[in-house]
Structure 1
Amino acid sequence: MSDINASILRQDIGDGTVVLQLNRPAQRNALSLALRRELAAHCQVLDADRNCKVVVITGDHAAFAAGADLAEFAHTDGAGLRALDFAALWRPVAALQKPLIAAVEGYALGGGCELALHADIIIAAENAILGFPEVKLGILPGAGGTQRLVRAIGKYRALKLLMTGDFITGHEAVELGLVTEAVPPNQVLMRALELAAELCKRPPLALCAIKEVVLNAADLPLEEALEIEREKLFFLFDTQDKVEGISAFFEKRTAEFKGQ
């Protein structure tokens, strides 16, 4: 585990899963500038770490992340906010090539909900509280919330949540398509790790390729998107993992993928 005084604790599970735990419990894991910087640094390091196959981000039972740390920029104007360049700190999270799972308990509001939306899979507690209350402060979600939310649940449902600032539970979020699964509160991290372990058994290059194609081609015209898909398929057909996977299939054994 990382330094207990850090804003993020890192734990290597041993099967290829790395857990990043937001560690500001007194502030309900509000996203301070220091926490954002640590998260960006962790994502860059893990992307280059061949031993890491899946990343799980979580908080604690009270909060995944209750939003941005408003105290840090409450008196900042537009120019000052621009100078902080928060976008540069979100890019390494969005650019993470490996599967990213968010394990959400308690509050996931504003920037905390946006952080969860950066994940490829979201496991939430049935009683988790998610939402975008920024409108009540006279602002809007500025870390991709307006864009990722509408892509996840559609224009009309997204606009209702964004314009009212209403909260929803994890159970309701599943019905909207905002999260992948809702489970009892005491099973969230366990389920996320169970799913991560399953993904760790899959070929890493194929997982990265699937994530890249889905994220980069989803908003392109269909023919362009299909071309990107085909090129990635051709690439995977030249990998040792493809040879191993097909050989294991015919030999009726478990494949041993090496990410090559």
Structure 2
Amino acid sequence: MSDTVLLETKDGIALITLNRPDKLNALSYELIDRLMAVLDQIEVDASAGVVVLTGAGERAFSAGADIHEFSGSVSRGPNTAARDFVRRGQAMTARLEAFRKPVIAAVNGLAFGGGCEITEAVHLAIASDRASFAKPEINLGMPPTFGGTQRLPRLAGRKRALEMLLTGDPFSAARALEIGLVNKVVPHDELLPATRELAGRIMRHSPLAAASIITAVTRGLNMAIGEGLQVESEQFAAMAPTSDLVEGLAAWRERRPPNYTGR
């Protein structure tokens, strides 16, 4: 098994680490494929309630795509590049965005290109005060290809996103917080403890309800509000017959902490 992605599950948290620190955790094809396989594994693991995604080493969350590998695909023609690079990267970010368990990025350093696009796609993100972000694809003569032209404007607004996309200039963790790319910035040494604390606050609640919320929000963002409200209604209807809803209501009536089973 490849060690480009590490997985450790403890206390309900599945910690995924992008593990190419000598390459600033660049997103090689092997790493992306391994990440997808790890997500498949976590999805069916009842002991994993929340996913935390971070990078190995002290320098980078991920500096983006593996340019040497991508260049080889480009040299073999646009169809090969679209198949090997674009579709693979878009599938990865779409998988993270729609994952039924909450995914929190713990951004420990550089989050450039594809690393920034992962941060855009996941449900929540906490950044180290040492983290920095950039949309540098324009420096290579290309647009972002893992969803950055679509998700960043939805997060930051069209004009702020276009400034980042058209200049390629790095921006700080504080700026990422200001535009809504991350939820919180913490001192570097507190990054994983703060991320675990947030995961713990999520895991107090029904995992089925969390999955329903993620689905309604993710799907609804790309719909007119009327269609989104229909998705919300459908998600509630799916929750109505579950034991978790029965337990949540009973716990509220009895003024006690709920004991959710995820059924």
TM-score in terms of structure 2 length = 0.93
Aligned residue number for residue 193 of structure 1: 196
Aligned residue number for residue 37 of structure 2: 41
Q: Does 1:20 align with 2:16?
A: yes
State the distance in 2 between where 1:158 and 1:219 align: 18
Aligned residue number for residue 52 of structure 1: 48
8 Å Cα contact 2:106-2:192 kept in structure 1? yes
Residue 89 to residue 101, structure 1, CA distance change in 2 (3 Å): closer
Q: Does 1:239 align with 2:235?
A: no
Residue 105 to residue 72, structure 1, CA distance change in 2 (3 Å): same
Q: What is the DSSP-based 3-state SS (H/G/I as helix, E as strand, rest coil) of the residue aligned with 2:164? A: helix
8 Å Cα contact 2:54-2:61 kept in structure 1? yes
State the distance in 2 between where 1:116 and 1:83 align: 23
Aligned pair partner of 1:147 in 147, 150, 166: 150
Deviation at 1:62? 1.1
Deviation at 1:237? 2.0
1:44-193 to 2 correspondence within 5 Å?
44-60=40-56, 61-75=58-72, 76=74, 77-84=77-84, 85-86=87-88, 87-193=90-196
8 Å Cα contact 1:17-1:200 kept in structure 2? no
Gaps of 5+ in 1: none
State the distance in 1 between where 2:92 and 2:147 align: 12
Q: CA RMSD, aligned part only?
A: 1.4
State the distance in 1 between where 2:31 and 2:100 align: 21
Q: What is the DSSP-based 3-state SS (H/G/I as helix, E as strand, rest coil) of the residue aligned with 2:51? A: strand
State the distance in 2 between where 1:197 and 1:180 align: 16
Deviation at 1:88? 4.0
Aligned residue number for residue 28 of structure 2: 32
Aligned pair partner of 1:219 in 212, 219, 222: 222
Deviation at 1:90? 4.3
Q: What is the DSSP-based 3-state SS (H/G/I as helix, E as strand, rest coil) of the residue aligned with 1:179? A: coil
Residue 231 to residue 89, structure 1, CA distance change in 2 (3 Å): closer
Q: What is the DSSP-based 3-state SS (H/G/I as helix, E as strand, rest coil) of the residue aligned with 1:211? A: helix
Deviation at 1:243? 1.0
Identity %: 37
Q: One-letter code of the match for 1:18? A: A
State the distance in 1 between where 2:47 and 2:219 align: 25
Gaps of 5+ in 2: none
TM-score in terms of structure 1 length = 0.94
